[in-house]
């Protein structure tokens, strides 16, 4: 870390933006992964939603 006090540096700002983007992409990918359940679990889930 830099010793400029509490003021965020350009690198800090870029790192925060990249982290936010990674979280957003990761969450979307995770939700898609949840939809790709094994056949048995998917069938049970569809039974519940009917």
Q: What is the pLDDT of residue 17?
A: 94
pLDDT in tens, 17-46: 999 988 887 777 777 766 666 666 666 666
Q: What is the pLDDT of residue 29?
A: 73
Which residues have C-beta within 8 Å of that of residue 16, sequence separation ≥ 6?
8
Mean pLDDT is highest, among 4-8, 31-35, 46-50, for 4-8
Of the chain, the end-to-end C-alpha distance in Å amounts to 54
Q: What is the pLDDT of residue 11?
A: 92
Cα of 18 vs its chain's centroid, Å: 12
- pTM (2 decimals)? 0.45
């Amino acid at each position: 870390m830099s010793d400029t006090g509490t003021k965020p540096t350009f690198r800090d700002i870029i790192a925060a933006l990249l982290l936010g983007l990674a979280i957003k992409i990761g969450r979307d990918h995770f939700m898609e992964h949840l939809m790709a359940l094994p056949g048995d679990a998917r069938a049970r889930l569809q039974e519940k939603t009917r």
